[in-house]
Structure 1
Amino acid sequence: FINNFIIAMEEVEYCFKNVNNSCIKVSRSLRVRAVMYAILSSITIITICGNLIVIISITHFKQLHSPNNFLVCSLATVDFLLGLCVLPFSIMRTVETCWYLGSIFCQISLCIDNLLSCASIFHLCFIAIDRYYAVCSPLTYTTKITFKVVYIFIGIAWILPTIFSFGLIYTKANVQGIEDLVMILSCEGGCILMFNKLWAVLVSTVFYVPCVIMISIYAKIFTVARRQARMIKNMEEKISMEEKKRRENQKREQKAAKTLGIILGVFLFCWLPYFIDAPIDVFINFATPTVVFDSFTWFGYVNSAFNPMIYAFFYPWFRKALKLLITCRIMRTSIMNLFPNDFH
């Protein structure tokens, strides 16, 4: 029995062999690791490239310079930075089940991860507000949602999450009162973000409250859009050409609202499992298996890869810009003639 116990101890693999209190490394075959690297790397590449195309398209083509598209561009920047600054290191941590980049970089990575997740929620909130005015108050939309207002929205969507994320983690407010538990669960080679019960509830509130507000806004938008669609259908033969043009513009705004509503739905679908499990995990002393928690986290990350796919499916300008980028003709294309019929 003693010999078997010694052999079992020797077979246990640690993140750092010669370091006391090293985390235990999950042993995986080369084939399993290769498949995991391939899948997670593909998600990362799609996230980076897809969102980069959105950023280039909106910034390069003047016809796409609208308040709404600038919000979309800023959201794409959030997703792009997630793919560039967070996902490559999360791949290593997920596949190898160890963190080899030191505690300081671990803290920075966790801060950036939390920052970008919060920034996504803020951007989606402001996009919902923009679509509300575009569909429900089309006559006052251009006066209420100006470029100046959008710049303020974007500033808030970046500054508040930055202060919240870095302030919370670097003041260690998130682990006050559970220091002993953190010491027990911490080991060399680990990099996880823990919360006490208070902050677990508060962080969940930062997710759930904006989501409820956004769902309410989009419910109102689609109610108004349906009513407008019925009015347009009933008056189609009676209205003037100028009125028809205004109605067409309303249809475009409604289509944009529908597309961004789908983006919100996908965001909720991807992140809800994580935000359900994360606060529960705190109250059960972080007993969620690592593989389950990592799966929920990556399911949330996949949302950043889905967004460009949604743009590709619903927005003709995205498909045209992608074609121009692939064929290297983007710098030679006339900006004024690129999108003659659709700006959205």
Structure 2
Amino acid sequence: MGCLNLSNETRHPYTARTSAPLTLLVGVLILLTVFGNVVVVIALTTSRALRAPQNLFLLSLACADILVATSVMPFSLANELMGYWYFGKVWCEIYLALDVFFCTSSIVHLCAISLDRYWSITRAIEYNLLRTPRRIKSTVFIVWVLAALISFPPLITMKKDEGKEDRPECKINDELWYIVFSSTASFFAPCAIMVLVYVRIYQVAKQRTRAPPGERSRENGNQQDPKCIADEQEEEGKVRGEEEVDEEQSSSDENEVALCSRTKKRWRAETAAAASRWKGRQRRERRLTLVLAVVVGVFVLCWFPFFFTYTLTAVCPCCVPETLFKMFFWLGYCNSSLNPVIYTVFNHDFRRAFKKILCKKGR
């Protein structure tokens, strides 16, 4: 979101002693954001283990974070240090539009990812058949279009305030309707959807039995071969002495029992293999769900303070200290650099891909 200058009394609000470490800190943040997300893009496009169609959401999200670091953050820093907008009216409007657009795009991406997780868990068979790269790409395109529809119209129609000639300003409209609309559409509504979806995912995962479907149906396994049922019934009849058989019939029954035994063994082996594959898929799904839940949680922690105080300024402009507001503003930007760290800490496939990329570069 664009920087809101709650008060702008001086042309140069920072001394040289303060500006130097602040510039260094933000410069490091920009470099880490670009480097980390570029590595994520390379990993997602080169690692075979990360080529699942749903990871296209993460690829698009990383691109959005790179664009924030390269086209928004440097100008936010310059505007903050100088105390006025140096880059002209046209770029001011572009800068504000991109800032709101990329922020909204990030949270709409996360909202789409959470819904994708939910459908893949609750409707695994039919949804995974539809989860093709083409469909995911179409969904990513819709995400960007939706973010643009939320972000651009209010910016285009809002009343511009150029400030004084010797101290031009570049700030988002501070009218009540815009603040409420922007905060609700760009953050609070998608955030509520994500939280509800992940609560539902947790409930579904908790309700599910730990045994894979193959093991649950093991007790009915003999139904796969009618001969096995007949053999077992006949066996029970023999034990109870309810019927007699001659030697020829007994020999035939023994052959059928042997065939049924082999069928059972083959079925059990196939069931064990299916259960092993199922457990492997479940582990991968749980790991990815954990990573995405952490990504969403960190995003909320980084951006909620800003949007809360931003909304509060609409009701009570003097209730939010300027220094606190600026801290929350930059905390939101920090989120763009944290996603690569989350992937590295919580996902083995990403760690392995990152090590491979970095080791190759180091050679």
Q: 1:27 to 1:169 in 2, by over 3 A?
A: closer
Instruction: Give how far 1:137 is off.
Output: 2.3
Match of 1:305 among 319, 337, 342: 337
Instruction: Give how far 1:159 is off.
Output: 1.6
Amino acid at match of 2:193: I
**Structure 1 residues 293-339: Cα deviation after superposition (integer angstroms, max 9, x where no partner):** 22111111111111110011112232233223323369x9xxxxxxx
Could you tell me which residue of structure 2 aligns to residue 220 of structure 1? Answer: 200
- How high is the TM-score relative to the length of structure 1? 0.79
Could you tell me which residue of structure 2 aligns to residue 159 of structure 1? Answer: 145
Amino acid at match of 2:117: R
Task: Give the secondary-structure state (helix, strand or coil) at the position aligned to 1:327.
Answer: helix
Whole-Å Cα distance in 2 between the matches of residues 273 and 44 of structure 1?
A: 21
Whole-Å Cα distance in 1 between the matches of residues 184 and 165 of structure 2?
A: 26
Task: Give the secondary-structure state (helix, strand or coil) at the position aligned to 1:28.
Answer: coil
**Equivalences for residues 3-18 of structure 1 within 5 A:** none
Say whether 1:126 aligns with 2:112: yes
* Contact 1:124/1:264 (8 A) holds in 2: yes
Could you tell me which residue of structure 2 aligns to residue 190 of structure 1? Answer: 169
Give me the CA root mean square deviation. Answer: 2.8
Say whether 1:210 aligns with 2:242: no
Amino acid at match of 2:284: R
* Structure showing greater Rg: 2
* Contact 1:135/1:250 (8 A) holds in 2: no
Could you tell me which residue of structure 2 aligns to residue 145 of structure 1? Answer: 131
Task: Give the secondary-structure state (helix, strand or coil) at the position aligned to 1:272.
Answer: helix
Match of 2:70 among 84, 103, 106: 84
Say whether 1:280 aligns with 2:260: no
Whole-Å Cα distance in 2 between the matches of residues 302 and 133 of structure 1?
A: 30
**Structure 1 residues 83-108: Cα deviation after superposition (integer angstroms, max 9, x where no partner):** 11111111222233332111211111
Instruction: Give how far 1:276 is off.
Output: 0.6
More moved, 294-303 vs 189-198: 189-198
Whole-Å Cα distance in 2 between the matches of residues 230 and 115 of structure 1?
A: 42
Q: 1:302 to 1:138 in 2, by over 3 A?
A: same
- How high is the TM-score relative to the length of structure 2? 0.75
* Contact 1:86/1:109 (8 A) holds in 2: yes
Whole-Å Cα distance in 1 between the matches of residues 301 and 335 of structure 2?
A: 9
Instruction: Give how far 1:218 is off.
Output: 0.6
More helix per residue: 1 or 2? 2
Whole-Å Cα distance in 2 between the matches of residues 41 and 200 of structure 1?
A: 29
Instruction: Give how far 1:69 is off.
Output: 0.7
Could you tell me which residue of structure 1 aligns to residue 353 of structure 2? Answer: 321
Whole-Å Cα distance in 1 between the matches of residues 44 and 121 of structure 2?
A: 22
Instruction: Give how far 1:286 is off.
Output: 7.1
Could you tell me which residue of structure 2 aligns to residue 57 of structure 1? Answer: 43
Whole-Å Cα distance in 1 between the matches of residues 129 and 306 of structure 2?
A: 39
Task: Give the secondary-structure state (helix, strand or coil) at the position aligned to 2:109.
Answer: helix
Match of 1:48 among 19, 30, 34: 34
* Contact 2:49/2:349 (8 A) holds in 1: no
More moved, 189-198 vs 321-330: 321-330
Instruction: Give how far 1:243 is off.
Output: 1.9
* Contact 2:43/2:357 (8 A) holds in 1: no
Say whether 1:248 aligns with 2:285: no
Unaligned runs of 5+ in 2: 1-7, 219-270
Whole-Å Cα distance in 2 between the matches of residues 300 and 187 of structure 1?
A: 30
Count of residues paired in the alignment: 302
**Structure 1 residues 157-184: Cα deviation after superposition (integer angstroms, max 9, x where no partner):** 1122224323321222xx4xxx7xx577
Unaligned runs of 5+ in 1: 1-21, 333-344
Whole-Å Cα distance in 1 between the matches of residues 349 and 278 of structure 2?
A: 21
* Contact 2:44/2:55 (8 A) holds in 1: yes
Q: 1:195 to 1:185 in 2, by over 3 A?
A: farther
* Contact 2:162/2:170 (8 A) holds in 1: no
Whole-Å Cα distance in 2 between the matches of residues 282 and 230 of structure 1?
A: 50
Task: Give the secondary-structure state (helix, strand or coil) at the position aligned to 1:297.
Answer: helix
* Contact 2:162/2:168 (8 A) holds in 1: no
Whole-Å Cα distance in 1 between the matches of residues 11 and 136 of structure 2?
A: 47
Whole-Å Cα distance in 1 between the matches of residues 325 and 164 of structure 2?
A: 15
